[in-house]
Amino acid sequence: MSDSPEMVDLPALTLIGLEFVGSHAEVDFPGLWHVFINRVAELGIDVHQPHTLYGASGPAPDGRPGHFAYLAGAAGDPANVPEGMTVWQVPAGTYACRPSTIEQVHEVFGGLAAWAQASADWQPTGRYLEVYDRDFPHTKVMQVHLRLDRRAA
């Protein structure tokens, strides 16, 4: 893997899904995704057709140290939010991106954050995006993104 990640500009996204807020010790990612996959049809998504799912994370809304927020979701219409689901607006931005497997995701996110911290041009925002495209179940490879801001000159 090269030292510099791929840089991509992503459009704004409206994601709808199931939200978790808490600590890493409390989160059950597989369980959250299992429940979301079983409810994804409520968003009008046919899981047997090509689709893209997203995992989004960032600081906890209340700013509590050691806590974060995570959404297992899909792009959707904010006017059609099933009961128990949440809407996240992901702003357009520049992201550092690398491929990853589920088993390597924490290592890859850590590597992206370390790269950004050492960068003279970019600083991490603490917001991450996982992109699971239609080939994910077969390839087991997703794209992980770290949202960046330009460092002040």
Domain ranges (residues) in the chain: 6-150
pLDDT of residue 2 exceeding 70 = no
Q: In sequence order, what are the residues at sequence separation of 6 or more whose Cβ sits closer than 8 angstroms to the Cβ of residue 105?
A: 130, 142, 144
Q: Residue 56: name the closest of 69, 41, 37 by CA.
A: 69
Per residue in 34-43, pLDDT (tens digit) is: 999 899 999 9
Q: What's the whole-number mean pLDDT along residues 125-146?
A: 87
pLDDT of residue 46 exceeding 80 = no
Amino acid 47: pLDDT: 67
pLDDT of residue 96 exceeding 60 = yes
Matching CATH number, 6-150, of 3.40.50.720, 3.20.80.10, 3.40.50.300, 3.90.550.10: 3.20.80.10
What gap in Å lies between CA 6 and CA 96, rounded to an integer?
6
pLDDT of residue 58 exceeding 50 = yes
φ, ψ at 151 (rounded to 5°): -70, 145
